Structure formats: structure tokens, C-alpha cells
A = this chain, B = another copy of it.
Amino acid sequence: MRNLNPQPLAAVREAARSKTPLGRPRDESIDAEVVAAVLQLLRKRGYGAVTIASVARKVKTARTSLYRRWPSKRHLVAYAVVSEMGAKPAADTGELRADLEAAVQTLLRAFAGPLGQALPGLVADMAQDPELAAIIREEVLAARRKSMREAFERAEVRGEIRKGFETELLLDMLTGPFYYRALFGHAPITARMARDVVTYIGRIVARGVRRVPAHARVPGDVETYRRD
């Protein structure tokens, strides 16, 4: 979670001395309630409805109490989203297609929930706060990408796919369409689409492809694209 909730200076000392800090302890239940409130507001009324005041009202606490825990609204929302979208266990079925399908299903579900609602506002906040951007990338995106990257690596080791791909680009082509559609809304995000993306990615990396020798070509076997 890193720097998202840097406020408890007392907690730092706590970790250092491994003792209970001093003074009145922080009400830990508030953290969870705030996260729940943010996610609910996000889902039901969108990013614009998430204000410090609206969250405080929902949790029945004071605005200033929230500012004691998070230095800004951005950090608050990021904390909530990261809490919800924490690292997921990476699927390892022994087959690339199934691994990727599992990963894509996770994306599908994520965009139906609060993350889908938060995405546009989150992206705008990230653009204005590089530190926040780094946190979101590392805590939300990196975990998902890592599991998919490893799926490709395992497939390569198994000899299931060919070698030498720009894996990062494959990841972007696999998941980029989801973000793209979620943010611009020009096309719906469907299970069918998720399936097709995986199929197409598979076509890129698949082995078992033989170049048809020139003498054996039939009309229509145009080979515009060089293959290696």
C-alpha cells in the first residue's frame, strides 16, 4: 500500500519501537468504513459524487478526521481503489489460453464495479500527481500485468508459443482494449469481446505455423506480412 496513508507519524514510531504508540489510539474501524463508503459512492453515483464531505457524512465522522488520515482526496480515492483491487492470485492452468482467459475475466469483473466508475477521475488525478500515478501503477496495474507476463513466460518455457515477443506490448494489446472502451465508451465490454481478444493474441504467438512454400501456394495465399 506504500505511501497512500502516510499520516500516522505515531505509527512510524510504533514500528520502530514495536510498542503501542502513545496517546489516544486511532479508531481503526473508520478506515474500513471510509473505504466502503468511497466504493459505494463510486459505484452508485460516480466519481463526481465522491467529495470529502460526502464521504464524511456517510461514515458519520468529520471532514477533518479524514484529512488527518489522507493528505488529499486523491490519496483517499486511491487508497480505496487499491484496497479493493489488491493483487489477485495468478492463474496457472498449464495452458496459455486458459491463463489469459482467467486474467481477462478478472478485468471484465473489475470494470463492472467501482473501478470502472472511478477510472476516468482516477486517470485525471494521476495526470496531475506523478506520485499518485506511480502508486496506482504499482499497486493496481503492475500486479495484474505481472500475472499475465508470467503466463506468457511459462508458455514460452513449455514451448507452447514462439520466442522473442515484445511481451509488454502483448499485454497492452490484450488489456488496452478494455481500458480504451471503458474510458471512451465507443463499444461495450462483453464476454464475447474478452474471448476474442484472447483468441487474437493467441494467433499472434501461436506455433505450428508453417510458411507455405512458394511452389505449393494456391491463389489467394498472399503473404504481405513478413513472418520473421
Q: How many Å from the CB of A226 to the closest CB on chain B?
A: 8
A207→B180 contact, CB < 8 A: no
Chain A interface (Cβ < 8 Å from any Cβ of B) = 46-48, 95-97, 119-121, 123-124, 126-128, 133, 136-137, 141-142, 145, 158-160, 166, 168-170, 172-173, 175-177, 179-181, 183-187, 193, 196-197, 199-200, 202-204, 206-212, 217, 220-225, 227
Docked-complex contact B170 and A180, CB < 8 angstroms: no
Work out how many copies of this chain go into the complex.
2
For chain A, what secondary structure do more than half of its interface residues adopt (helix, strand, loop), or is it mixed? helix
Known: A46-B127, A136-B184. 18 other contacts (CB 8 A): A95-B224, A96-B224, A121-B124, A123-B184, A133-B184, A142-B186, A160-B222, A169-B177, A170-B200, A172-B181, A173-B197, A176-B176, A176-B180, A176-B181, A179-B184, A202-B225, A203-B204, A207-B220
- Residues of B near A95 (CB, < 8 A) are 224
- With A177-B173, A206-B227 in contact, is A124–B128 under 8 Å at CB? no
Q: How far is the CA of A126 from the CA of B120 in the complex (A)?
A: 8
* Contact for A221 among B48, B127, B141, B207, CB less than 8 A: B207
Q: Please, how many angstroms separate the alpha-carbon atoms of A47 and B124 in the complex?
A: 9
Q: Nearest Cβ distance between residue A22 and chain B, in whole angstroms?
A: 40
